[in-house]
Amino acid sequence: AQTVTQSQPEMSVQEAETVTLSCTYDTSENNYYLFWYKQPPSRQMILVIRQEAYKQQNATENRFSVNFQKAAKSFSLKISDSQLGDTAMYFCAFMKPGKYIFGTGTRLKVLA
């Protein structure tokens, strides 16, 4: 069975600093997608970034980038130049046909 593990329940970072959120997953599949979603206090789920497993190049979206290590089944999110608006729950998600599984989330607080 596929599982997604986020081992950091809570993290904090100073404004303008860089923070990395960890995610590991377990699968025997070769073709799948990985995502990071952000859930601010409004509780809206917002897609932050996605990574196709067949692509070796790490995805980047402005201040957000991932470190995808397929062999290690690791998919971490790096947030550069953290902003107060980045304060939210961050969920890692795994997708393959018939499965869209989320981790338990990391609560990130950006400190002024």
Partner 1 sequence: DSGVTQTPKHLITATGQRVTLRCSPRSGDLSVYWYQQSLDQGLQFLIQYYNGEERAKGNILERFSAQQFPDLHSELNLSSLELGDSALYFCASSVGGGPGRNTEAFFGQGTRLTVV
Q: Which one among 8, 22, 33, 80 touches partner 1, defined by CB under 8 A?
A: 33
Is 108 in contact with 41 (CB distance < 8 Å)? no
Cβ neighbours of residue 16 under 8 Å, at least 6 residues apart?
81, 82
Residue 47 binds partner 1, judged by CB under 8 A: yes
Residue 100 binds partner 1, judged by CB under 8 A: yes
Q: Which stretch binds partner 1 (CB under 8 A): 14-22, 47-55, 59-67, 72-80?
A: 47-55
Q: Helix, strand, coil proportions of the chain in percent (round to 5)?
A: 5, 55, 45
**Strand pairing of 10-14 and 106-111?**
parallel
Residue 9, token pair as written in the block: 């329940």
In 10 A of CB 68, how many CB atoms? 20
Residue 75, token pair as written in the block: 């998919």
Q: Which one among 45, 63, 81, 84 touches partner 1, defined by CB under 8 A?
A: 45
Cβ at position 104, least distance to partner 1 in Å: 4
Q: Which one among 55, 104, 109, 111 touches partner 1, defined by CB under 8 A?
A: 104
- Residue ranges in 79-98 that form contacts with partner 1 under rule CB under 8 A: 91, 95-98
Which residues of this protein are in contact with partner 1, per CB under 8 A?
Answer: 31-33, 35, 37, 43-47, 50, 52-53, 91, 95-105
